[in-house]
């Protein structure tokens, strides 16, 4: 592929396909109970048309945010608690991560979170045009081996799919502690016709966003001497 070609998804896999394990340690009884009883109330049914995502919430949210791969859910839960006027959709295929978020939802009595416990690409494709006010992709798996880099979530095709469901002016937040993944993402953003990078100086990307609660992945990176970057891209 030359430098001006766009990456295309292979037929053998989905562009944002799932790799790796789906479940880790055995869930504690409390977590298992939440997965059994609370998750069905919050899970988005993709077997039905998702023409009105604002209607997923009883009080209809017209400011809808998506977090892709929410890990343990600490950032998503904190943001949802800080902004009850917003609606949040979290995507995470890892069962243990979903269980941790459900504990946060129950403990904090959060009513503005809905969950897709599967492939974020499926959720993105189900959303109507211009339905999202913001998207977060925080510390995605870097797939560092050369032969695995095609598995990275950020790709030309994925950015085009995201652009369809983001409103003009919507923010795409991306955080990583892996220099190579930051460069990979920059390359794809800068050749995308749908996004701009508005940063003016290094201060715009070496510090977390206002109100940032941190994540367990960030804490691990800092302990191991890696400095994260916090990148904001704007939908044209």
Q: What angle do CA 209, 155, 24 make, to 5 degrees?
A: 75
Residue 129: per-residue pLDDT: 98
195-196 sheet: strands from edge to edge = 113-116, 87-91, 64-68, 132-138, 166-176, 229-235, 195-196
Q: Could you give all domains of the chain from N- to C-terminal order, each with its CATH number?
A: 29-235 (3.40.50.150)
Residue 7: per-residue pLDDT: 37
H or E stretch including 51? none
What tokens does 62 get? 């017209």
Residue 141 bears catalytic tag: yes
Active-site entry in 79, 141, 156, 204: 141
DSSP 144-199: -SGGGGGG-S--HHHHHHHHHHEEEEEEEEEEES-HHHHHHHHHHHHT-SSEE---
pTM of the complete model: 0.89
Query: How many H-runs (helices) and E-runs (strands) does the chain carry?
Result: 8, 7
- CA dihedral of residues 95, 99, 104, 107 (deg, nearest 10): 170
Are the CB atoms for 68 and 135 separated by under 8 Å? yes
Spans in the chain with pLDDT lower than 70? 1-23
H or E stretch including 153? none
Residues listed for the chain:
236
CA distances from 230 to 88, 154, 199 (A): 20, 15, 11
User: Which tens digits make up the pLDDT trace of 157-181?
Assistant: 999 999 999 999 999 999 999 999 9
Which of 128, 104, 6 lies closest to 55, judged by CA?
128
């Amino acid at each position: 592929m030359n430098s001006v070609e766009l990456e295309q998804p292979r037929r053998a896999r989905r562009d944002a396909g799932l790799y790796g394990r789906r479940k880790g340690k055995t869930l504690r009884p409390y977590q298992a109970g939440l997965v059994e009883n609370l998750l069905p109330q919050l899970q988005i049914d993709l077997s039905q048309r998702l023409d009105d995502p604002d209607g997923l919430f009883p009080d209809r949210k017209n400011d809808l945010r998506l977090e892709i791969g929410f890990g343990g859910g600490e950032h998503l839960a904190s943001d949802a608690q800080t902004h009850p006027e917003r609606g949040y959709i979290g995507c995470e295929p890892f069962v243990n991560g979903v269980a941790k978020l459900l504990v946060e939802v129950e403990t904090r009595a959060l009513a503005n979170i809905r969950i897709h416990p599967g492939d974020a690409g499926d959720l993105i494709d189900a959303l109507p045009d211009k339905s999202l006010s913001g998207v977060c992709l925080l510390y995605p798996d870097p797939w560092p081996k050369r032969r695995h880099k095609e598995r990275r979530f950020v790709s030309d095709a994925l950015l085009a799919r995201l652009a369809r469901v983001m409103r003009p002016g919507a923010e795409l937040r991306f955080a990583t502690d892996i220099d190579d993944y930051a460069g990979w993402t920059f390359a794809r953003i800068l050749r995308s016709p749908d996004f701009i990078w508005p940063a003016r100086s290094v201060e715009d990307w070496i510090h977390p966003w206002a109100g940032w609660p941190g994540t367990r992945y960030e804490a691990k990176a800092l302990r191991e001497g890696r400095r994260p970057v916090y990148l904001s891209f704007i939908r044209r």
